[in-house]
Structure 1
Amino acid sequence: MEHKELTELSLGELWQLFPIILTAHQDCWADWYKEETELLKEKLSYVERISHIGSTAIKEIWAKPTIDILVEISKEEKLSNVKGIIERCGYICMAENNSRIDFNKGYTLQGFAERVFHLHLRYEGDNDELYFRDYLQANADVTKEYECLKLALWKQYEHDRDMYTFHKGDFIKQCTQKGKQLFCDKYDNKRFL
């Protein structure tokens, strides 16, 4: 694998090099998010909103030690215009379509770096993850239920991220819908979170 770039690796090779790892919540994750957000805000001062999403944004829950960041841009902007700026911040584009681009940072041919980030570039309003996060933060019992689900799936799908994600899908969908009902229109305002 030494002669390939990360973007040239097959999905199977990526999953072997970057297995699912869960760890107890670390307070440093919030600091890592803040530091990375400062870099992004400096380069992307015109974005609609930058948010910490995923399990590292939820205190007291076991998580993959990967900071998920949602960057929402105005529908008048072009994703392709923002893509190059994000890449210059050290990110690698891993998936792209007309309405979303996903980036990774902290992935090396030797495995994970100390700090790992997933950045999700989307148009404003494509932010279901915010409602899921907020619903879990407001419901400790549901958060523990989610944590138990993740821990149960971890070793079984350690090298298969698609199946790990798939088996969490119904739970996430249900919580997201409840979050949207509970926090109706919370994210219509333009602000950084």
Structure 2
Amino acid sequence: MKNLEEMTLEELWELFPIILKEHRAEYADWYEEEQQNLTKLLAEFEIQRINHIGSTSVEGLIAKPIVDILLELPEGYDLEKVTALLEKAGWILMIKDKEKQTLDLNKGYTPAGFAEKVYHLHVRALGDWDELYFRDYLQKYPEAARQYEELKLSLKEKYEHNRDAYTDAKTEFVEKYSQKAREEFGTRHMAK
């Protein structure tokens, strides 16, 4: 059995297809558990905010069974040290952008497929991120959440084994409703 690092993108997409499931109340518990772990692990970095984002944060919404977490640290945080601590704790680094001070990591991807609990962690400097507005909008407006669900279900059929294309195909919808949320909610998530 190959390690994940040895697999091609196509092999990874085959092993980890787009799976959509009914909302589970446990997603909130999964988030809380990991939020506590991250808060302890990164205590020296003065976490500014940590939020459950993505479809699993919207009650009743069909979602990939993956809990997305947005963790915000102070501007200029030590990217290398944070990366090392997270990797030592079992997170797999997917993308590191030194210029933008962002990290994208995951946990729960194994050579045999998905673990029981799967996470995506997005580490950024404190900011005014669209993901927070989009989540808030879907939580407030069930009709928009249903439209998003319909879109995801239609895209799953086409892109089950192409995660990048699946994500790209959702972009226009996400941007449209993130903008609507910003218009309605103002600067509610702007760093103070």
Q: TM tier, shorter chain? A: over 0.9
Q: Which residue of 1 aligns with 2:79?
A: 79
Cα shift at 1:189: 5.0
Q: Which residue of 2 aligns with 1:158?
A: 160
What is the number of residues matched between the two proteins? 188
Cα shift at 1:179: 1.2
Which segments of 5 or more consecutive residues in structure 2 lack a partner in the other structure?
A: none
The one-character-per-residue Cα deviations of 1:133-157 (angstroms, maximum 9, x if unpaired) are: 0011111111100000001111211
Using the size of structure 2 for normalisation, the TM-score is: 0.94
> Quick one: structure 1 residues 173 and 44, their matched pair in 2 at CA, closer, same or farther if it must change by over 3 Å?
same
Cα shift at 1:5: 2.5
Q: Does 1:128 align with 2:126?
A: no
Give distance in 1, aligned partners of 2:79 and 2:133: 23
Give distance in 1, aligned partners of 2:80 and 2:67: 23
**Of 147, 162, 169, the match for 1:145:** 147
Over the aligned positions, Cα root-mean-square deviation in angstroms equals: 1.3
Which segments of 5 or more consecutive residues in structure 1 lack a partner in the other structure?
A: none
Give distance in 2, aligned partners of 1:90 and 1:67: 16
Instruction: Letter of the 2:49 partner, please give it.
Output: R
Instruction: Letter of the 1:93 partner, please give it.
Output: L
Cα shift at 1:49: 0.9
Give distance in 2, aligned partners of 1:5 and 1:71: 28
Preserved CA contact (<8 Å) 2:128 2:189: no
Q: Which residue of 2 aligns with 1:111?
A: 113
For the residue of structure 2 that corresponds to 1:155, the secondary structure is helix
Deviates more, 1:155-164 or 1:123-132: 123-132
Q: Which residue of 2 aligns with 1:94?
A: 94
Preserved CA contact (<8 Å) 1:69 1:117: yes
Q: Does 1:8 align with 2:11?
A: no
Using the size of structure 1 for normalisation, the TM-score is: 0.93
**Of 21, 24, 37, the match for 2:22:** 24
The one-character-per-residue Cα deviations of 1:50-105 (angstroms, maximum 9, x if unpaired) are: 11011000000100000001111111312222111111221010111122211110
